[in-house]
Amino acid sequence: MTSSTTARTSSGLLRGTREDGVDRYLGVPYAAAPVGELRFAEPAPAPAWDGVRDATAMGPTAPQTPYGPATAKFVANVIDPGDDYLNVNVWTPADARDRPVLVWVHGGSFAHGSNALDGYDGTAFARDGVVFVSVNYRLASEGFSVLDGAPLNLGLRDVAAALRWVRAEIAAFGGDPRTVTAFGESAGAGALGTLLASPGAAELFDRVILQSGAPGATEPKTAGRVTRKIARTLGIPATRAAFVGTEPVRLLEAEAAVTAGTTPITGGLGFGPAIGDDVVPAAPLEAILAGAGDTIPVVLGWNADEARLWLVPSGLVDRFSRVLFAAVRLRFRVGRRVLRAYRAAHPQAGRGELFGHLATDIVLRLPFHRVADARLERRAAPTYVYEFAWQSPVADLRAAHVMEIGFVFDRLRSPDWTALTGPDAPQRLADEVHAAWVRFASTGDPGWTAWSRERPVNVFDEPVSAVVDAPRDTELASWRKRSHD
């Protein structure tokens, strides 16, 4: 049975819904609509409202282009135009008080995604005693342009503004503002890892979970390549005034043309954070290796077959030519010693599959190992490392990028995830993964051994998960020795 419920924030009264002991408030603004004079500007506080604001339906989503056909077949998205897209959704146990808080930041290459997916429904978290919040933020040109006259990293600034909103307002929903765990996947994890390196990280969250996304940013000249190409395509200068004067739909059309064919694995023009402002004053990974974020407990991990999301649906895994493989080796500086180690570890792998293993390690396992090792050396707050290894039977995707999210949310029956996992994904594993995230948010310990000199990795799999010390360390060690090539 569904009934009404209310919550009072500093901006005004909200009306949500209550069902089966869970309250939900949808489309709640955490910042003012980034339109008009507020377009390509710092996020501004959400204006107050009179009376009771309806919060029973999802709000608008950030302007964006759809995923390409190969990705869209497996990765769900919702695009719902409207101005008030800097919003959050909140699920909370009915009559909650001082409950731990989880804040979700979606992925999508900083160009796609929203908090409106059925697969991101927070009911299971609220059922298990956690207040759950999901965040929208500016994407692509609106969020990550490099423009004369505009702040850098507007999308990151939005995420930070949403986290500050949580600190200030979550008590009204029964959450404890002193126990906030931020978690994200892919670009969402990259955003949070980059904020972990920020000087103000401890003001934003108390714990963080990085799923399949490492901290990273580039110099403005590099980050701005896509902006400059879009500006040339539109015949305008790369300035705030010119971009403010351009209709969002024209920007989206230019983005689609300029970024066609780009993937996180094969490269191309894309969006991401830029170094050089108060949010990202230095290279994030290097800042973390030097001690940034040391007081914050961290969970970080990857999926065993990350790259297959891009290699398999496109067919590239089976048509990886010698020339392309040589170009990839050059781009990622894959020396002879490294290549020998990977070929020995995967003797039956073709060039495309071998590249997939290399890409997963280059993009995720290697930087995450560096982070965990550096934090251990400095005796920082605990670091917990996982690998999601369950292999989906769908389209030979195996443990591809995005595969773990339905398990984390304990929402395997959502059509958003069955396209990836099939209809018979193991509920036992969802129970285990979801419980680990809830436990970390509640206690700071997900339930397995913290990183140590033995390099323990909790491998989530079926029929049983296990902590494995230094899995596949032979391949990783070859990178540490590559200076001898």
Q: Look at residue 484 in the predicted model and tell me its pLDDT.
A: 43
Please, what's the largest Cα pairwise distance for the chain? 70
**Six-digit token string for 452:** 């140590």
HEC profile for 235-259? Answer: CCCCEHHHHHCCCHHHHHHHHHHHH
**Could you read off the pLDDT of 176-207 as tens digits, one per residue?**
999 999 999 999 999 999 999 999 999 999 99
What residues does each domain of the chain span?
2-311+400-432
Predicted pLDDT at 485: 44
Using one digit for the tens of pLDDT, what is the confidence trace for 239-267? 999 999 999 999 999 999 999 988 877 77
Residue 482 has pLDDT above 70, yes or no: no
CA–CA separation, 347 vs 228, rounded Å? 43
* pLDDT of amino acid 483: 45
Q: Between helices 336-345 and 351-360, what is the axis angle to 10°?
A: 110
Find all residues with CB under 8 Å of 412, minimum gap 6, and list them: 406, 418, 421, 425, 427, 430
Query: In degrees rounded to 5, what are phi and psi of residue 13?
Result: -90, 140
Mean pLDDT of 233-241: 98
- The Cα-based distances of 240 to 36, 83, 162, 259 in angstroms read 12, 19, 23, 21
- Whether cis (ω within 30° of 0) applies to the bond prior to 446 is no
**What is residue 332's predicted lDDT score, i.e. its pLDDT?**
87
CB atoms within 10 A of CB 10: 11
Q: What proportion of the chain, given as a percentage, has pLDDT over 70?
A: 99
**1 — pLDDT class (breaks 50, 70, 90):** confident
CB 228 within 8 A of CB 269: no
What's the gap between Cα 434 and its chain centre?
A: 17
Q: How far is CA 386 from the centre of its chain?
A: 16
Residues 242 and 186: beta-carbon distance below 8 Å: no
98-149 pLDDT, tens digit per residue, is: 999 999 999 999 999 999 999 999 999 999 999 999 999 999 999 999 999 9
Cα dist from 100 to 128, 302, 345, 433, whole Å: 10, 25, 42, 18
CA distances from 131 to 100, 123, 195 (A): 6, 9, 22
pLDDT digits over 9-23, tens only? 999 999 999 999 999
- In terms of DSSP bridges, do strands 456-460 and 466-469 run parallel, antiparallel, or are they unpaired? antiparallel
Give mean pLDDT, residues 388-415.
98
**Distance between CA atoms of residues 364 and 303, nearest Å:** 9
Write a three-state SS string for the chain.
CEEEEEEEECCEEEEEEEECCEEEEEEEECECCCCHHHCCCCCCECCCCCCEEECCCCCCCCCCCCCCHHHHCCCCCCCCCCCCCCEEEEEEECCCCCEEEEEEECCCCCCCCCCCCHHHCCHHHHHCCCEEEEECCCCHHHHHCCCECCCCCHHHHHHHHHHHHHHHHHHHHCEEEEEEEEEEECHHHHHHHHHHCCCCHHHHCCEEEEECCCCCCECHHHHCHHHHHHHHHHCCCCEHHHHHCCCHHHHHHHHHHHHCCCECCCECCCCCCECCCCCCCCCHHHHHHCCCCCCCCEEEEEECCCCHHHHCCCCHHHCCCHHHHHHHHHHCCCCHHHHHHHHHHCCCCCHHHHHHHHHHHHHHHHHHHHHHHHHHHCCCCCEEEEEECCCECHHHCECCCCCCHHHHCCCCCCHHHHHHHCCCCCHHHHHHHHHHHHHHHHHCCCCCCCCCCCCEEEEECCCCCEEEECCCHHHHHHHHCHHHC
Domain 2-311+400-432 has CATH 3.40.50.1820: yes
Give the pLDDT of residue 354.
95
Those residues whose C-beta lies under 8 Å from the C-beta of residue 470, and which sit 6 or more positions away, are: 454, 455, 457
Catalytically annotated residues:
186, 306, 401
pLDDT digits (tens, 9 = 90+) for 38-84: 999 999 999 999 999 999 999 999 999 999 999 999 999 999 999 99
